[in-house]
Homo-oligomer: A and B are copies of this chain.
Amino acid sequence: MNLEFTLRCPISADLDRVRRLVRLHARHSGLRRERLDDLVLAVNEAVTNVLDHGGGTGTVTARSDREGVTVEIVDAAGRLTRDHLAAARVDPTSSHGFGLWVIRHLCDRIDVEQRSEGSLLRLHVRRPPAAG
């Protein structure tokens, strides 16, 4: 099940569809159970931020490789920075503000880059070692 392939879709208000496509890609790339759910939730949070704080448009690109799955969320508005990520924390007394914290908590590696297309948030989840 070491399928190296890429899936891309535009960001729209149809969050459910983004979740389904990311799940489809990640499952075929060998992610299972918690790790599959972790990635889907992390991407969901990132796309929610594009809808909530960003320009509402951009792309989601999922890639698989030997190690696992990488998903890049590009926000065309380009305002997400490393500082937002660094500031992310969870505050149970507040009723908002933990999407970025959730992303940091669930992924094995994350990164922010500024591109001509917008700000790019890269999430990586490792595949567990193959059984047998």
Contact = CB atoms under 8 A, between A and B. Distances in A.
Interface in A1-35: 3-10, 17, 20-21, 24, 28
Contact of A24 (B4, B8, B9, B28): B28
Closest 6 CB pairs of A and B: A5-B9, A6-B8, A7-B7, A5-B21, A3-B17, A5-B7
5 contacts: A3-B17, A5-B8, A5-B21, A6-B6, A6-B8
State how many copies of this chain the complex holds.
2
Interface of A: 3-10, 17, 20-21, 24, 28
Contacts of A21: 3, 5, 28
A22 to B, nearest CB: 10
A10 B4 contact: yes
Contacts of A17: 3
Among A6, A7, A10, find the residue whose CB has the most chain B CB atoms closer than 10 A: A7
A43 B1 CA distance: 21
Contacts of A9: 3-6
A20 B17 CA distance: 21
